[in-house]
Amino acid sequence: MKSQKLWCSILTVLYGFLKSCAFLLVGGVAIAGTILAVSVYYESPMIWDLGVSFVKHFYFGLVAGFLIHEIAHALLLSITMRELKDIRTESSFARFSIIASGRSTGRGIFVTAMGGPVAAAAFGFFMNVVSSNFDLFAWYFLHLFFLLPLFGDGRAIIFGIRHWRSVVDIGE
């Protein structure tokens, strides 16, 4: 039962991310396609390199970083929550997040909030160590800024510390 909820939460995050960021992903394809078409038309290797660099940084840096971040949250929610009722996605123009409803301890909320940014940064660090030519580390490292109280993860960390041992209802 736990593994079924785990996969269900991951699929919910993937579907919500693709649905909410479709305009961003399609826009990236349009920009990259235009740059690459212009480079082929003018036979310019410099413009081609610009287009490839854009695709690499946009999709493998920005988009993949947020996917890893949010999937880590979903995995940890499925593992740490005492009673997980539902996971839903919430998005606006410049924001994508997942919201769970159910019961959890403060410690579980803390671990879940830390998990997203730390997983993204750890992935970036791992790729930087494994591949000497991995120049996307900054995209993944920047996720650590979400641990500041200005952002939702930072506020959740503070909430988790305040209610460390108690069981709280969330998302209701």
Residues forming beta bridges with residue 99, ordered by sequence position: 88
Q: Mind listing the pLDDT tens digit for each residue in 20-36?
A: 778 888 888 899 899 98
Average confidence (pLDDT) over 38-61:
90
Residue 28 has which token pair? Answer: 């990236």
Over range 41-66, report the average pLDDT.
90
Number of Cβ within a 10 Å radius of residue 51: 20
Looking at residue 2, what is its pLDDT?
65
Residue 171 clears pLDDT 80, i.e. is over it? no
H/E stretch holding 105 reads strand 95-105
Q: Which residues pair with 98 in a beta bridge?
A: 89
Find, among 74, 69, 76, 73, the residue nearest to 10 by Cα. 74
Contact 159, 106 (CB under 8 A): yes
Rounded Cα gap, residues 59 and 50, in angstroms: 14
Give tens-digit pLDDT for 106-125: 999 999 999 999 999 999 99
* Interatomic CA distance for residues 141 and 121, integer angstroms: 5
The 10s digit of each residue's pLDDT in 90-110 is 877 667 888 888 999 999 999
What is the distance between the alpha carbons of residues 154 and 115, in angstroms, rounded to a whole number?
A: 11
List Cα–Cα distances, 110 to 51, 56, 77, 107, 114, in angstroms: 40, 32, 10, 5, 6
Cα–Cα distance, 125 to 139 (Å, whole number)? 11
- Is it the case that residue 1 has pLDDT exceeding 60? no
Beta-carbon contacts of 122 under 8 Å, excluding residues fewer than 6 positions away, are: none
pLDDT at 94: 66
